[in-house]
Amino acid sequence: MTKVVVAMSGGVDSSVAAVILKQQGYDVVGMMLRLWSEPGKEDSNRCCTPDAVALARRVAARLDIPFYVVDAKEIFHSTVVNYFLEEYLQGATPNPCLICNRTIRWKFLLEHALAMGADYMATGHYVRLRSKLEQKSDREAEEKIQLLRAIDRSKDQSYVLHVLNQEQLGRALFPVGDFPKDKIRKMAEDEGLPTASRPDSQDLCFLAGEDYRKFIKRNAPESLKPGDIVKRDGRILGQHQGLSFYTIGQRKGLGLAFAQPHYVLAKQIETNRLIVGLEDELGQNELTVENVHWIAGKPPDSICRVEVKIRYSAREAWAEISQLEGGNIRVKFDQPQRDIAVGQSAVFFDGDVVLGGGRIVANDCV
Amino acid sequence: MEETIYLDYAATTPVDERVLKFMLPFLNQTFGNPSSIHLFGQRAENAIEVARETVAGVLKCRPDEIIFTSCGSESDNLALRGVCFAMREKMNKNQILTSLAEHHAVSRTAGQMAELFGFDVEWLGVDEFGMVSPQTITRGINNKTALVSVMLANNEIGTINPISEISEICHKQGVFLHTDAVQAAAYLPLDVDVLGVDLLSLGGHKFYGPKGIGVLYVRKGTPIFPIQTGGSQEFGLRAGTQNVPYIVGFAEALRLTELEREKRTNHVKPMQDRIIGSVLENIPDTKLTGHLEHRLPNHCSFAFKGVDGNLLLTLLDSAGFACSSGSACKTGNPEPSEVMNLLQLPSEWGLGSLRITLGEATTIDEVEKFLANLPMLVSKARNLK
């Protein structure tokens, strides 16, 4: 029998993923990561509180599948949390979920699953997979696995999984990506799962439900050097409390009193200056991406017109992409885009197919 | 799941078929409340008193020295709290002498007695095998000592303590001695006069009896207060309607254990020798934890260098072997147990504990299958770390 480890979180999606796989006849095993929490805040970590573990355990018992908790506290802290703080120290805006998926869930946990004799690992992510034969020559064809956006576009999570490679995708199953979210909730209710009515997760798990600024204050206070708020021409408008407290595109909380609202355009780490401007200054036509990862293992041969997502919650925008020297990618949007933040990933789509993506480096507005 | 081999008899045992049969009529036929005046009550009461005599027969004590409780942990709590509060009230003594290698039912109770109730706890040291030496008792006792509590055999590492020697010292000093015999009862004789103890805790499910039933032996003349007050059941020491079916089940299971002690020991001992020998020989960077000779005959425990014990258990379970690390922790939150900390192991060994405990249904084929798989699983766990 084909053995699948389901990475469970105590939430409805991974629970139903286990249900679907069981119905499909797999030998299903539940596993849960014990991630890092700030000392003293273990009970509020969103996805691995004792409460969430208990829920996942109950789901597993209900489905009559074995369930194990795997400790990942140290590696989570040394990779994901450190990256998160480091990016803020650099004046960038991190997306720790990407790093977690690449190094924790789809590496550390996958290795554990394979060591247990699993053939596949599944998660409750809303994405799909498709296998495609690519002609290498007249004689040879190579099988590639494509990552596709979810049927339910409003729930699509392909942005955070664009970091996966062929090897990882070859071991991956995403059973909920073929269904709309309300269907998944319905299945959970029909199965009588205790997680059926649990709200969707929103924040970063290790923030324990708090604003990230409080976390930064405690864990990277050195990033909170006050400095000048300036216009692009260098005119000083006020004082900021530390660059990591601000997000690109932010309007509220700047403490500026002008007739027209001002927005954060960029952070200048060398000078510790927060650059602000008016709404019409927010848009940018171009950006550069580094550390580009292509899901197929190489850049696409032909496509240069793609849709690009510059944040998890951003809407896709049409753009032309071109290769720079050294593998970086230059993106030229059809329409100017707001809120492009250094440190976030730009992810490229060809229709439903996720091509890949990388870290946004240049913020060209200054 | 059906092929999983159970090697965790120290955690719990299945109820013996004979015991189960013995218990069943007391669930719905002889169901009366033992405190009732009528015939239903009388029959239930009689069943309890017969059970009490049976238990007393095994412990070689008087029936009215046997108190039925809900489990071994409750027995430990009653012994510590009951005696210490009474000793302070009556004799103005407020020191507790015990060790960190004790089961949490003792060590955490003692800890709370110190934290919340003003007792002094003197924590006894143990040697590298987890054994309490009689000399440390001599050094620890003073004129304020209310109670000494030392377990008969350790649940995590199987080491048997020299209780008879310890009791001699206690009695010379006029100090009462409690022993937690919960883990020991399946294999060691429980004659309370040979052991020389004043209090002794037992739990039914460790020797093929049901869960949810325990016993505390209290030697006549030991000062003790009830910690659960109410009705006057159990000589006023443990209020609450007695759990008749479980009490008779406990007694029958203990009777059978005493009767078959030698046979059961002879069944597990050769397999224990085989496991300890094979593991130490075939897996590099492995240590036996606990004492090689003074240990329970069904108990094997090891430390593996550079292994996360919980991960190893996960791999073992997945491969069809149900074992334990010695201290049950399902949260995936790896902390070395107090006992492992006491064994003076280098830090990269502390988390890598594995406990294999054998029982009546264990076969040599199962043991060989386990031994054939373990080296590969340990090396997998080492690679993942």
Residues of chain B contacting A111 with CB distance shorter than 8 Å: 384
Instruction: Specify the range with the lowest mean pLDDT, choosing from A151-160, A171-180, A193-202, B15-24.
Output: A193-202
Q: How far apart are CA A127 and CA A120, in angstroms?
A: 16
Instruction: Specify the range with the lowest mean pLDDT, choosing from A134-138, B161-165, B325-329.
Output: B325-329
Average pLDDT, chain B: 95
| Predicted local confidence at residue A256, as pLDDT | 85
* CB-CB under 8 Å, B318 with A34: no
Residues A15-38 have pLDDT tens digits of: 999 999 999 999 999 999 988 888
Question: Would you call B329 a catalytic residue per the annotation?
Answer: yes
Q: What is the CA radius of gyration of chain B?
A: 21
| Predicted local confidence at residue A48, as pLDDT | 63
**Regarding beta strands B299-304 and B95-99, do their DSSP bridges make them parallel or antiparallel, or are they unpaired?**
unpaired
**Three-state SS annotation for chain B:** CCCCEECECCCCCCCCHHHHHHHCHHHHCCCCCCCCCCHHHHHHHHHHHHHHHHHHHHHCCCHHHEEEECCHHHHHHHHHHHHHHHHHHHHCCCEEEEECCCCHHHHHHHHHHHHHHCCEEEEECCCCCCCCCHHHHHHHCCCCEEEEECCCECCCCCEECCHHHHHHHHHHCCCEEEEECCCCCCCCCCCHHHHCCCEEEEEHHHHCCCCCCEEEEECCCCCCCCCCCCCCCHHHCCCCCCCHHHHHHHHHHHHHHHHCHHHHHHHHHHHHHHHHHHHHHHCCCEEECCCCCCECCCEEEEEECCCCHHHHHHHHHHCCEECECCCCCCCCCCCCCHHHHHCCCCHHHCCCEEEEECCCCCCHHHHHHHHHHHHHHHHHHHHHC
Spatial strand order of the sheet with A172-173 comes to A67-71, A27-34, A3-7, A120-122, A172-173
Instruction: Specify the range with the lowest mean pLDDT, choosing from A137-141, B21-25, B46-50, B234-238.
Output: A137-141
Scored b (16 or more CB within 10 A) or e, A292-324 reads bbbbbeeeeeeeeebbbbbbeebebbebebeee
* CB-CB under 8 Å, B331 with A34: yes
Report the range out of A188-197, A207-216, B143-152 with the highest average pLDDT. B143-152
The pLDDT > 70 percentage for chain B reads 97
Query: DSSP secondary structure string, A232-281?
Result: TT--EEEEES-GGG--TT--TTS----SS--EEEEEETTTTEEEEE-GGG
Would you place residue B1 in the very low, low, confident or very high pLDDT band (cuts 50, 70, 90)?
very low
Q: How far apart are CA A169 and CA A120, in angstroms?
A: 9
- Smallest Cβ distance to B314: which of A53, A57, A116? A116
| Predicted local confidence at residue B331, as pLDDT | 54
Mean pLDDT of A89-94: 90
CB neighbour list of residue B37: distance below 8 Å, 6 or more residues apart = none
| Predicted local confidence at residue A280, as pLDDT | 87
The pLDDT > 70 percentage for chain A reads 96
The pLDDT > 90 percentage for chain A reads 65
* CB-CB under 8 Å, A115 with B331: no
Whole-model pTM over 0.90: no
Q: How far is A53 from chain B, CA to nearest CA, in Å?
A: 8
Query: Is pLDDT above 50 for B81?
Result: yes
Q: How far is A50 from chain B, CA to nearest CA, in Å?
A: 8
The pLDDT > 90 percentage for chain B reads 92
* CB-CB under 8 Å, B332 with A34: yes
| Predicted local confidence at residue B333, as pLDDT | 61
Residues A116-170 have pLDDT tens digits of: 999 999 999 999 999 988 877 778 888 899 999 999 999 999 999 999 999 999 9
Amino acid symbol at A162:
H
- Closest C-alpha to A276, from A284, A285, A267, A265: A265
- Closest C-alpha to B127, from B376, B281, B294, B258: B294
Residues of chain B contacting A73 with CB distance shorter than 8 Å: 333
Q: How far apart are CA B100 and CA A18, in angstroms?
A: 42
Query: Is pLDDT above 70 for B329?
Result: no
In total, the C-beta contacts within 8 angstroms joining chain A to chain B are: 45
Residues A327-366 have pLDDT tens digits of: 899 999 999 998 899 999 999 999 999 999 999 996 555 5
| Predicted local confidence at residue A135, as pLDDT | 79
* CB-CB under 8 Å, A69 with B330: yes
Query: Is pLDDT above 90 for B262?
Result: yes
- Smallest Cβ distance to B331: which of A53, A112, A115? A53
Contact between A21 and A122 (Cβ < 8 Å): yes
**Regarding beta strands B214-218 and A236-240, do their DSSP bridges make them parallel or antiparallel, or are they unpaired?**
unpaired
Residues B193-249 have pLDDT tens digits of: 999 999 999 999 999 999 999 999 999 999 999 999 999 999 999 999 999 999 999
In total, chain B counts a number of residues equal to 385
* CB-CB under 8 Å, B384 with A116: no
Mutation target for A interface from B312, B313, B314: give the one with most A CBs within 10 A.
B314
CA A60, distance to chain mean position in Å, is 26
Would you place residue A46 in the very low, low, confident or very high pLDDT band (cuts 50, 70, 90)?
low
Contact between A155 and A126 (Cβ < 8 Å): yes
